[in-house]
Structure 1
């Protein structure tokens, strides 16, 4: 993975226009031209592509830290002349204020499982016995995870996917309201009432004894 790849991916992930990239370089006290940026962003197989040197990418990442977190009290560090993938990962961690658990979760989102100790080893001093070299594949997957999380096209795709799932969901069938039971009418009700009235009237008539 080249320095040009890193710059291209970060530019796409955070939707940085060429002028914004130029401004980020300026935050690290490095002046570049738009023509230089255009040449760095060319594809590898294009003849106009110019390789991005370590010191130039280090300057961009230092400026990216200031862009994301603001300028602190400390003086701007000098850009590294030799930039390892561990340093690239560390600078991005600082810029995005990521904890170890955040990095583990980001890598897990692209099916890369690493433990706490493995991630911590990337940020140790190179002369430390537990220092671990960050391979290009790890950095590539980390940048891909950032892209899935932060890039606007990816966010739109996720939202569209969610809307599609909702639209494909079968609507719940509306249940018909229960039909009220018909009131039963006794056809013999009137006749029965007359019969009851007749019986009642007979009870009320007093018969006189002879």
Structure 2
């Protein structure tokens, strides 16, 4: 799952409109237009007939890790208001920990407890123990840190959509 897929699924789950997306990016420190948002969310048409189920999608404009992290920081401010310190939670996003940071920042933005997150995952048929979730939410480099796979991130976003869109 690439960053554009993550943003598309998160946008759908939280029912964010284009204008809100522009505002969230702005709160995260990136100035972007509605046209840019639509390009980030628009897939390039593929002419291949035999596509795999979880094949990476191509988008008109690629969303890099910095832009995704800025969006997630903006989402925290959009949902909870500006922090007292004025600085967002600083985590360095790389290709290995994108899903971990996604879960952490969505948890903060939506004021979810670990129980809420386990319930959301359970709604999609994904069973995760408290200790496994704790390992995924730990800081990279901690001895109990565990990398979050695409399956858990995908099911978490699906569960969010089920919870917030119904």
> Which TM class, normalised by the smaller chain length?
0.7 to 0.9
Of 128, 135, 139 in structure 1, the residue corresponding to residue 149 of structure 2 is 135
Determine if the alignment matches structure 1 residue 56 to structure 2 residue 58.
no
Tell me how large the CA RMSD over aligned residues is.
1.8
Distance, in Å, in 1 between the alignment partners of 2:30 and 2:100 is: 22
Relative to 1, partners in 2 of residues 1:74 and 1:93: Cα closer, same or farther, differing over 3 Å? same
TM-score, scaled to structure 1: 0.68
Q: CA contact under 8 A between 1:110 and 1:145: conserved in structure 2?
A: yes
Query: Which residue is equivalent to 2:20?
Result: 20
1:35 aligns with 2:35: yes
Equivalences, count = 152
* Structure 1: stretches of 5+ with no match in the other structure: 156-210
Q: Which has the higher contact order (CA 8 A, sep 6+)?
A: 2
Mapped partners of 1:62, 1:141: distance in 2: 22
Tell me if the contact between 1:4 and 1:51 (Cα under 8 Å) persists in the aligned partners. Answer: yes
Classify the secondary structure of the residue corresponding to 2:63: coil
Displacement, 1:124? 1.3
Report what 2:108 is aligned to. Answer: 94
Instruction: Tell me whether 1:68 sits opposite 2:79 in the alignment.
Output: yes
Shift of 1:111: 0.5
CA 1:81/1:103 → structure 2, altered by over 3 Å: closer, same or farther? closer
Task: Indicate conservation of the 8 Å contact 1:55/1:79, yes or no.
Answer: no
**Superposition pairs for residues 87-126 of structure 1, below 5 Å?**
87-126=101-140
Structure 2 portions without partners, runs of 5+: 47-57
Residues 69 and 49 (structure 1 numbering): CA distance in 2 closer, same or farther, change over 3 Å? same
Please give the TM-score of this superposition, normalised by the length of structure 2. Answer: 0.84
After superposition, the C-alpha distances for 1:47-81 in whole angstroms (9 at most, x for unaligned) are 76111011001111101001111112112336745
Higher Rg of the two aligned structures? 1
The answer for the alignment partner of 2:53 in structure 1 is none
Q: Cα distance, 1:43 vs. partner?
A: 1.9
